Amino acid sequence: MCALVVTGTGLTGCGGEDPDAGTNGVGKLTAAQIQTRTKQAAGAAKTVRLAGTVVTNGTTYTLDMRLKEDGGTGSVTSKKSTFRLLRVGEHLYLKADADFWSDPDGSGGTSADTDVADKLSGMYVKVPSDDPAYKRFSGFTDKDVLLDGLLTLQGDLATDGYHEQSGVRTFRITGDDGSGGSLDVSLEGTAYPLLLVRAGNAGTLRLTDWGKDFALKEPDKKETVDYGQELPSS
């Protein structure tokens, strides 16, 4: 028998072997149908891990987030700052070191800033729902909002053949021949999106651990600071 051969451009076979044999059939669909199916699969999944970069409003964020229907947790790096986000239901917490709290925008902190920063360092700081930071960061912990905004390619959709991501066979679709982004969809099992390259060099994300549950709970009160109606720095 002739086996499929994985090449840099995708999967090929000899003797006219069907490249869709043993797959979920995504490779036989149109690009629009594939995008619809993968969005449905992502929406139905209870959990996902999302890692990579997102560029928004001129700022590059490096994410490593685990998301589920009622919240999410993980790390975010922006400029020189790395912090952790945790959302359980409507409660959003931010955890960072003293440098983040004393000098969040790189402008230089005051002695008062330093005193506050020392108290907040390593603590889960509850983000008030009406603080600008809540709207800015809660989206990184919202599975539905984040995926709805990411999984739509721009421009005319087209198929781009068979590929492979981390040992999993995939089928790729693109927007405007790649300038509108590309999406690799699993050919094995459920048609989950596995790799997203965003339009306009706006980041690359890997999506893994679909459906793998993880613990999500409120932080211990000893590790939590409730700063009231407004965070000490924006």
pTM > 0.75: yes or no: yes
Nearest CA-CA partner of 78 in 64, 102, 97, 62: 62
Tens digits of residue pLDDT in 48-103: 999 999 998 888 999 999 999 999 999 999 887 899 999 999 999 999 998 888 76
Lowest model confidence (mean pLDDT) among 6-20, 134-148, 173-187? 6-20
Helices then strands (H, E): number in the chain? 5, 14
Q: What is the DSSP letter of 158?
A: E
**Helix, strand, or coil here: 229?**
coil
Residue pair 130/138 in contact (Cβ under 8 Å)? The answer is no
What percent of the chain stands above pLDDT 90?
A: 65
CA distances from 165 to 49, 72, 141, 212 (A): 15, 25, 25, 19
- Give yes or no for residue 28 having a pLDDT over 90: yes
Tokens 């596995």 belong to residue? 194
- CA dist 101 and 113 (Å) reads 7
pLDDT at 101: 84
Tens of pLDDT, residues 202-231 = 999 999 999 999 999 999 999 999 876 666
Best CA proximity match to 126, nearest among 232, 14, 19: 232
Which DSSP string do the residues of 94-138 spell out, in sequence order? Answer: EE--HHHHH-TTSS---HHHHHHHHHHTTSEEEEPTTSHHHHHHH
- pLDDT score, position 124: 95
pLDDT at 36 over 80: yes
Residue 173 pLDDT level (bands cut at 50, 70, 90)? very high
